[in-house]
Structure 1
Amino acid sequence: MIRIIVADDHTLVRAGLHRILAGSDDLDVVGEASNGAEAMALLHATPCDVLMLDLSMPGRSGVDLIAQVKAEYPKVAILVLTMHGEEQYAVRALKAGAAGYLTKESAPAELVIAVRKVSGGGVYLSPAMAEKIAQDLTSARIDGPLYRRLSDREFDVFLMLARGLTLGEIAERLCVSAKTVSTYKARVLQKLQLGNQTELVHYAIRHELLRDNP
């Protein structure tokens, strides 16, 4: 029996995932969490094999949470299930220690396959995501584009700004102050050598970072 903890801040999403996983005799959802702190508490109290994790829960960066889970519970396989279809999110998640990456548009059958694959020690990416990553690596220059120099949180802020979210909206999503978001914005513009948010949007479009809107 594969024991699973589902971590997602949307109650309906967790309920839907629970129903999908309950349809397989070898899968057992042993706990649910709505944020990173709850996920860590569950891992401490409830043995599990797979942590199914949303990257966009309130609070700390999802990539930071992946790194913490792998440091404290190295035997737990992490399967990211997220709305983010950009390959850069997948690359960052895998580097942090995730064993699989799926978008929420994936079919239920693919989700079950992915859980079984990562629980057995494998790595799972949808064919479309694997192709995106391969193309990105193939087309990248030796030094790589400037956006790769952004930290995980800076990259999150960068994409939200590019999608037109205000500083206040970003602050609410990340559970930080608008002033903190403003600081991140300044760092992003500096690292990408851009003068303003309009240039930032054009940069994101030029590098095809908005191909999949979450």
Structure 2
Amino acid sequence: MNDGIKILIADDHSTIRTGLKHILSHAFSNVTFGEAITGSETLKKISGGDWDLVILDINMPGKDGLEVLTEIKENDYSVRVLILSMYTEDQFSVRCIKAGAFGYLSKTADDKQIVEAVQTILNGRKYISPDVAQLLSIELVQGHEGQPHEYLSDRELQTFLKIAVGKSVTKVADELNLSVSTVNTYRFRVFKKMNAKSNADLIRYALDNKLI
């Protein structure tokens, strides 16, 4: 089962990529790795390779992990994805699982958890940690009230996160490959849903909720 495993590690931090290769090369025999630094590079390598698993960060230059997940689904790529993010499970795990990820881990996870998640996914099953399982069960409870950013669509969330780190509407449009008018529409919806009056309000919210 461990023969000929191909794992693509998509993260813009070299220390993370190196650390994961070290952990997984000791846990699995005959494993080869690919690396990607941006979302666009990740998608290019997915389309051109036969990967058993993609370990994907959310925060990446250009297209973020959420957009990569969306395009994987839209293009019907038969690749399993494990999200490994600096965001804690309560912030993005449910959204990522719903978007098609096979598992979600925070970067605070220890080596044993990472190996367990990878093994579970390589065996064809989704990796649902106890924390994520609880969040998914809460999501099913009718009337559950989440935080304002949880009600944003994927595009609205992407727009919000990019504005929250100081990017202009023009820059956001360029990175998401959208028109400026479309991004302005998403920005308006974000302001309305989050009861924000300025970019400063969005930045403050993102900082308070450790989203940036």
| TM-score tier after normalising by the smaller chain length | 0.7 to 0.9
Matches of 1:67 and 1:96 in 2, distance apart? 7
For residues 93 and 22 of structure 1, the distance between their equivalents in structure 2, rounded to whole angstroms, comes to 26
Name the CA distance, whole Å, in 1 between partners of 2:48 and 2:167. Answer: 37
Inter-partner Cα distance in structure 2 for 1:70 and 1:185 = 25
Say if 2:89 and 2:131, in contact at 8 Å, map to a contact too.
Answer: no
* Structure 2 partner of 1:104: 107
Match of 1:130 among 129, 133, 136: 133
Could you list the per-position Cα deviations for residues 161-188 of structure 1 after superposition, in whole angstroms to 9, with x for gaps in the alignment? 6xx64345xx58x9479x7876644331
Looking at structure 2, the residues matched to 158 and 36 of structure 1 have their Cα atoms a distance apart, in angstroms, of: 18
List runs of 5+ in structure 2 lacking aligned partners.
none
Task: Please tell me whether residue 115 in structure 1 is matched to residue 123 in structure 2.
Answer: no
> Is the partner of 2:66 in helix, strand or coil?
helix
Deviation at 1:133, TM superposition (A): 4.1
State which of 26, 45, 48 in structure 2 corresponds to 1:42: 45
Distance 1:131 1:144, change over 3 A: closer
CA contact 2:94–2:135 (8 Å) conserved in 1: no
Alignment: residue pair count: 205
**Offset of 1:73 from its aligned partner?**
5.2
Per the alignment, residue 7 of structure 1 pairs with: 10
2:153 to 151, 154, 168: 151
The Cα shift of 1:94 comes to 1.2
CA distance in 1, matches of 2:146, 2:14: 39
For residue 192 of structure 2, what is the aligned residue in structure 1?
190
Identity fraction in percent: 33
Distance 1:86 1:182, change over 3 A: farther
How much does 1:203 deviate? 6.8
Q: Following TM superposition, by how much is the alpha carbon of 1:74 offset from its aligned partner in structure 2, in angstroms?
A: 4.3
| Residue 103 of structure 1, CA deviation | 0.9
Q: Report the CA distance between 1:93 and its aligned residue.
A: 1.3
**Gapped runs of 5+ residues in structure 1?**
none
Map 1:25-64 → 2, pairs under 5 A: 25-26=28-29, 28-64=31-67
1:28 Cα deviation after fit: 1.4
Question: Which position in structure 1 is the counterpart of 2:27?
Answer: 24
Cα contact 2:85–2:106 (8 A) shared by 1: yes
